[in-house]
Structure 1
């Protein structure tokens, strides 16, 4: 039976999802997921089937509910896209520090995890996809797999940051660090219909994602370790997020096709 266990760690509500095959004497991969792990929850029975049928490696989901999403998932302060709405506060570095220094050590101490970076992934959608990528710059020695679904590359100055420009905000300077991507794997997805009806910066969603992909290639990801998927009918919603999350699991943790090139 799949187990859902609720934890309160460092003021964050955390849902730990254990596969039905969970054995506390073994060591499991972990995927740290933003937005409470909602993308995994929507497909949890199918994911469990893939594990039980030997198609993907078993893993533990750690779904972290944001305290303030616009604060936790953004790298620096920026104005809101909507009139009269609060601005983005840009505290991703603080959030990720809490994840790495408090949430992950607690999970590793209380569950049967393999704590090594080679067995530790981070995943998110939209702003959650964005903060997952920033984890690859802030903590490249903690996570080695990144799943970024429809990441908010439209966010003010993110593309400039990825292109190596200096970003100044609130008296702080943000410069993209050089990261050794030799052991990193990145699954990147965007739907081709995302942003087409927007009048804000979100209208650049697809174009900016494709430009970001080129920057990731320049960073040195090995060709087999970087997969960029898209869907010609893809819109910005959970229907596509869950489907491509499954595809990312097949690519990253697939057993039968582990060493084969997969096209989606």
Structure 2
């Protein structure tokens, strides 16, 4: 039976989803998920079925509710998308620092996790997908797997950052670091219909995601460690987020997939 345990860590509401048969003497993979892990919650019974039927490895999901979503998940300051909306404050570095230095240590101390980076993933959708990508630059030694679904690559100057340009904001300089991707795996997805009805910078959603893919191919991911998925009918909805999150679990943790890779 799946268990949901609520924690409050460093002022963040955190939901820990334990798989059926959870055993404190074992060491489980963990996925740290933004937006409270909602994408995993919507498919929790199916994920548990995949585990119990031996299709994917057992894992623990750590769902972190944002305190201030549009600021927690953005890398630097940017104008709002609507006339009366507040600007983006860009506090992703602060948020991820809290995840790495406070939330993860608490989880590792209180649950049966394997704390090694090889067993630690970070995942999100939309702005949550964007901050997951930035986690791969800020903390590549903490997370070795990244799941980024419909990430907000339209966000101002993100594409320029990925292309290696220097981004300056309020006296701060943001420059993409060189990261050893040898042991990293990245699954990311976009729906081909995302942004088509937008009049803001969000209209570039698909185009910028494809350009981001090109930059990721230059970072040193092996062909088997980088997967870019798309859906010709995909819109920016939970329906597609959940479906492709499940696909990412098969790709990252599928037991048959892993055995096939080892046999090569």
TM range (shorter): over 0.9
* CA offsets 1:67-108 (integer angstroms, 9 cap, x no match): 000110000000110110011110000000000000000000
Name the residue aligned to 1:115: 115
Name the residue aligned to 1:48: 48
Q: Secondary structure at the match of 1:112?
A: coil
Q: Secondary structure at the match of 1:143?
A: coil
Name the residue aligned to 1:191: 191
The Cα shift of 1:217 comes to 0.4
Q: 2: distance between equivalents of 1:192 and 1:112?
A: 39
1:145 aligns with 2:145: yes
Q: 2: distance between equivalents of 1:21 and 1:33?
A: 21
Name the residue aligned to 2:95: 95
The Cα shift of 1:257 comes to 2.1
1:133 aligns with 2:133: yes
Q: 2: distance between equivalents of 1:43 and 1:63?
A: 13
Q: Secondary structure at the match of 1:8?
A: strand
Q: Secondary structure at the match of 2:113?
A: coil
Structure 2: gaps of 5 or more residues: none
Q: 1: distance between equivalents of 2:29 and 2:162?
A: 29
After superposition, where does 1:170-209 map in structure 2 within 5 Å?
170-209=170-209
In the superposition, the TM-score normalised over structure 2's length comes to 0.98
Q: Secondary structure at the match of 2:256?
A: coil
After superposition, where does 1:162-241 map in structure 2 within 5 Å?
162-241=162-241
Moved over 4 A (4+): none
The Cα shift of 1:141 comes to 0.2
In the superposition, the TM-score normalised over structure 1's length comes to 0.98
* CA offsets 1:46-68 (integer angstroms, 9 cap, x no match): 00000000000000000000000
Q: 2: distance between equivalents of 1:101 and 1:257?
A: 33
Q: How large is the Cα RMSD of the aligned pairs?
A: 0.8
Q: 1: distance between equivalents of 2:82 and 2:4?
A: 36
After superposition, where does 1:7-22 map in structure 2 within 5 Å?
7-22=7-22
The Cα shift of 1:28 comes to 0.1
Q: Secondary structure at the match of 1:239?
A: helix
